[in-house]
Amino acid sequence: MAASAERSVASAVPIWQNRTARSIFYQAVVLGLLVLLAYFFISNTAANLAKRGIASGFGFLNNVAGFDISFHLVDYDLQSTYGDALVIGILNTLLVSALGIVLATILGFIIGMARLSRNWLIAKLAAVYVDGIRNVPLLAQLIFWYFGVLSTLPGVKQSLSILDTFYLNQRGLFMPTPGFGPGFWPVAVMFGIGVAAAIVVSRWARRRQMATGQQFPSIRVGLALVFGLPILTGLVAGFGIDWSYPELKGFNFAGGTQIIPELIALTLGLSIYTAAFIAEIVRSGIMAVSHGQTEAALALGLRRKHVSRLVILPQALRVIVPPLTSQYLNLTKNSSLAVFIGYPELVAVFAGTTLNQTGQAVETIVITMAVYLAISLAISAFMNWYNRRVALVER
């Protein structure tokens, strides 16, 4: 009955005023325009490439790259391919992003809490930090850390040394590298056992607390298990670690691990910059939890440290996590500014050197963008998952 009435009304309307017809028409037009635009760009590019005889395709990834990369986490030498260089670039991007995210989060939470401190001076200092850092371009800050600060460190021969094991100079931070000999495996095994035991203990403690209300210092015991067991084993049976110490040989330090100043400057710059944004997010997250919650928790007899950990923070996190995600994404994307200070990450190695050596601009840029897109999607997927977990605490 109703359906037929609708149909009769619909049929009375001329086709160009029919909602569905119009919607389909609009969409067809938009789709057509998009396809035309894509065709326009692609055909032009293809024609341009063909006419000038510019090479195309992804085959270059298997060619020998033959240039040096100053910092790589996995093996890379002069016989490696452009594909290997791409992997190095991605790993270096991920490394600096991960370091930056951890440091920025810690610093950001400290500053954010400091802004809410009852201590006027501390709160003001935090506010000055946030306003000062947020309103100066990141690139200027990176150049400051690299050319303004790190390059004023002493030269190699005048290195600052800490106990003759750590050296700091213009070429970066040099520190001993552990080499794991055969004597190391008992320690490693005990570490694994410690982790497993800590998990068991914390489960048991939780169950007991649910059942009886009695608390158990599971965190302290857990830490003791995870670190105590392997250290004890090591003390008894020996660690079996061969430390390789940095030593001055010729122009540079040999042995040990070198953390290049480009990485230090980039990590410092990124985390200090992003921390200012995270601090604001933390502050507004905590302020979003009503003061009644604190009062109610105190009235229930919770201690102050428990109030923040068990009542305020879980609620604040729900407000904090979504904008925090976008800050993590920003940090990752901002790591591309490394190209200005010579840290060999994705953009510098691939969209820079590789693009120049091969001349295949379209392919290299497309791959670079795709990698960033994938990293972005991965981070937001992870944070969405975490966000759901945090949100589920609500009952």
Partner 1 sequence: MSNIEARTTSEFPPGQHPDMPPPVATSGVVGWVRQNLFPTPLNAIATLLALYALYLVLPPLLNWLIFDANWQEGTSRADCVREGACWTMIRARFGQLMYGFYPVDQRWRVDVAFILQFVAIAGVLIEGMPGKRWFALFLFLVYPFLAYLLFYGGFGLVEVDTSLWGGLMLTLILATTGIAASLPIGVVLALGRRSHMPVIRIATVAFIEFVRGVPLITVLFMASVIFPLFLPEGMSFDKLVRALVGISLFAAAYMAEVIRGGLQAIPRGQYEGAMSLGLGYWKMNAFVILPQALRISIPGIVNSFIGLFMDTNLVLIMGLIELLGMAQSATRDPDWLGQINTALAFVSLVYFSFCFSMSRYSQYLERKLHTGYRR
Partner 2 sequence: MKHLKLLAAGAVIATFGGIAAADATTLEQVTSRGQLVCGVNGPAGLTGFGVPDDQGNWTGLDVDMCRAVAAAVLGDATKVKFVPLGSKERFTALQSGEIDMLARNSTWTLSRDTDLGLDFVAVNYYDGQGFMVRKDLGVASAKELGGATVCVQTGTTTEKNLADYFRTNSLELKSVVFETADQARQAYDEGRCDAYTTDASGLAAERTQLKDPGNNVILPEIISKEPLGPAVRHGDNQWGDIVRWSFNAMIIGEEFGITQANVDENKSSDNPEIRRLLGVEDEMGKMLGISNEWAYNILKQVGNYGESFERNVGLKTPLGLARGLNELWSKGGLQYAAPVR
Please report, as ranges, the residues that interact with partner 2 according to CB under 8 A: 33, 36-37, 40, 48-49, 51-55, 66-70, 78, 147, 151-152, 155, 170-171, 249-252, 254, 260-262, 339-342, 344, 348, 352-353, 355-359, 361
Give the per-residue contact string, 275-314, with partner 1 (x = CB under 8 A; - = no). ----------------------------------------
Instruction: Based on the shown chain and the rule CB under 8 A, indicate whether residue 333 belongs to the binding site for partner 1.
Output: yes
60-80: b (≥16 Cβ within 10 Å) or e: bbeeebeeebebbeeebeeeb
Question: Residue 369 binds which entry of partner 1, partner 2, none, with Cβ cut-offs from 5 to 8 Å by kind?
Answer: partner 1
Query: What residues pair up with 166 in beta bridges, in sequence order?
Result: 162
377 binds, among partner 1, partner 2, none (CB under 5 to 8 A by kind): partner 1
Cβ proximity of 238 and 227 under 8 Å: no
From start to end of 113-162, where are the E strands?
Answer: 160-162
Q: Which does 356 bind (CB under 5 to 8 A by kind): partner 1, partner 2, none?
A: partner 2
Residue 105 or 353 having the CB closest to partner 2: 353
Rounded distance between C-alpha atoms, residue 135 and residue 161, angstroms: 36
Q: Which does 336 bind (CB under 5 to 8 A by kind): partner 1, partner 2, none?
A: partner 1
Concatenate the DSSP letters of all residues of 340-358 into one string: GTT---HHHIIIIIIHHHH
Q: What are phi and psi of 137, to 5 degrees?
A: -60, 145
Cβ-based nearer residue to partner 1, 369 or 393: 369
Spatial separation of the C-alpha atoms in residues 205 and 213, rounded to whole Å: 10
The CA distances from residue 313 to 45, 151, 317, in Å, are: 53, 41, 6
CA dist., res. 375 & res. 383, Å (int): 12
* Chosen residue from 263, 281, 320, 337 binding partner 1 by CB under 8 A: 337
Contacting range for partner 1; rule: CB under 8 A; set: 67-75, 79-87, 125-133, 307-315: 125-133
Give one DSSP letter per residue of 172-215, joined into a string: EEEE-EEEE-GGGHHHHHHHHHHHHHHHHHHHHHHHHHHHH---
Give which of partner 1, partner 2, none residue 262 binds (C-beta under 5 to 8 Å, depending on kind). partner 2
258 vs 335, which CB is nearer to partner 1? 335
Angle between helices 361-392 and 313-334 (to 10 degrees): 180
Name the residues that contact partner 1, by CB under 8 A: 23, 26-27, 30-31, 34, 40-41, 44-45, 47-49, 51, 117-122, 125, 131-132, 134-140, 143-144, 147-148, 329, 333-334, 336-337, 339-340, 347, 351, 355, 361-362, 365, 368-369, 372-373, 376-377
